[in-house]
């Protein structure tokens, strides 16, 4: 018996390697695999890995997340975001495992100006959103004991890059930046997602609870990308980070065209998760502050 974590090198995956061991006493050791250990484009390899690992719990934190690139690589995005989760779910059913899978706000069109609930009609605008929705559907079809956790605007200390890291890099190089101000969402720290997944997993595995299904989780509060950028710079300066940035200009989506269409309103209701866990999500501003403190500590340590 074990816990199988797929996507261990991603920004959420690396946080999960710290939070999931709390479940090891009852579920067995954590087996954390990244791209090198598990090729998600090979469905036979996925089935074999689950069969040999015999996990009680599978966490899928892996995805094809290059939203714009997916428009020109739809087959690869579909294989990783739709077929691979389906293969994990089929393999989980065969060995009696439960599956927790991370999905996205991109399954919605973002046209409605009110927080999306789990029962709202989906309508993805991009290849990325469509493939992630197909992954959800494949899991629901193959496995009863699952949780699909939709989240949004994820950032963290780990991983190759995210909005916070990108803004800090650019703000160190430039005196002026333009940031989209007409897309609204809820910035969400990867660490908060990992802690939530770990807590939800305990509920999913409790035979006395009937809590399988789809959930939304983001940090509390809303912001535009422009608001988020301004907050990043303010907090970074308060922590003593040297920044060159002097002016942040709000612009429209139309002024910053991208290959993939983004949902203009990405806010989701986390009430269902809050009711199950007994507490609301942290405020995004507070989580941002804590993340930047960790980032600064890590950055300072690597340079000393």
Residues taking part in catalysis: 128
**Locate tokens 């995005």: which residue?**
77
On whether the CB atoms of residues 91 and 99 are closer than 8 A, the answer is no
On whether the CB atoms of residues 215 and 273 are closer than 8 A, the answer is yes
**Locate tokens 């691979």: which residue?**
84
Return all residues near 259 (Cβ < 8 A) that are at least 6 apart. Answer: 68, 69, 71, 72
Residue 71 class from Cβ within 10 Å (0-12 exposed, 13-18 middle, 19+ buried)?
A: middle
On whether the CB atoms of residues 146 and 98 are closer than 8 A, the answer is yes
C-alpha dihedral, 167 to 170 to 174 to 180, nearest 10°: -50
**Locate tokens 């890059």: which residue?**
161
Report residue 36 as tokens.
């090198």
Nearest to 188 by CA among 227, 159, 213, 217: 217
On whether the CB atoms of residues 175 and 34 are closer than 8 A, the answer is no
Give, rounded to a whole angstrom, the gap between the first and last alpha carbons of the chain: 41
Alpha carbons 27 and 36: distance in angstroms, whole number: 24
Alpha carbons 44 and 42: distance in angstroms, whole number: 6
Opening angle at CA 241, ends 239 and 245, nearest 5: 120
Please state whether beta strands 154-155 and 188-189 pair in parallel, antiparallel, or not at all (unpaired): parallel
């Amino acid at each position: 018996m074990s816990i199988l974590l797929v996507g261990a090198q991603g920004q959420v995956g690396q946080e999960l390697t710290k939070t999931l061991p709390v479940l090891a006493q009852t579920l067995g050791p954590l087996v954390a695999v990244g791209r090198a250990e598990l090729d998600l484009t090979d469905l036979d390899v996925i089935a074999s890995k689950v069969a040999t690992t015999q996990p009680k719990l599978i966490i899928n934190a892996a995805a094809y997340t290059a939203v714009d690139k997916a428009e020109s690589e739809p087959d690869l995005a579909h294989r990783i975001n739709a077929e691979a989760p389906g293969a994990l779910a089929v393999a989980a059913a065969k060995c009696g495992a439960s599956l927790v899978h991370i999905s996205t706000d991109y399954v919605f069109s973002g046209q409605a100006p009110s927080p999306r609930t789990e029962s709202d009609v989906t309508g993805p605008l991009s290849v990325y959103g469509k493939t992630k929705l197909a992954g959800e559907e494949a899991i629901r079809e193959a496995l009863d004991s699952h949780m699909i956790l939709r989240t949004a605007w994820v950032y963290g200390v780990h991983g190759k890059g995210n909005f916070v890291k990108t803004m800090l890099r650019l703000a160190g190089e430039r005196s002026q930046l333009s940031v989209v101000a007409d897309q609204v969402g809820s910035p969400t720290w990867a660490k908060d997602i990992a802690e939530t997944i770990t807590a939800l997993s305990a509920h999913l595995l409790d035979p006395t609870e009937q809590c399988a299904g789809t959930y939304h989780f983001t940090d509390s509060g809303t912001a535009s990308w422009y608001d988020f950028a301004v907050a990043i710079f303010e907090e970074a300066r308060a922590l003593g980070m040297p920044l060159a940035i002097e002016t942040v200009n709000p612009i429209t989506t139309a002024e910053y065209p991208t290959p993939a269409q983004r949902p203009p309103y990405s806010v989701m209701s986390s009430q269902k998760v809050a009711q199950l866990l007994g507490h609301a999500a942290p405020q995004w501003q507070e989580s941002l502050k804590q993340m930047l403190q960790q980032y600064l500590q890590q950055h300072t340590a690597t340079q000393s």
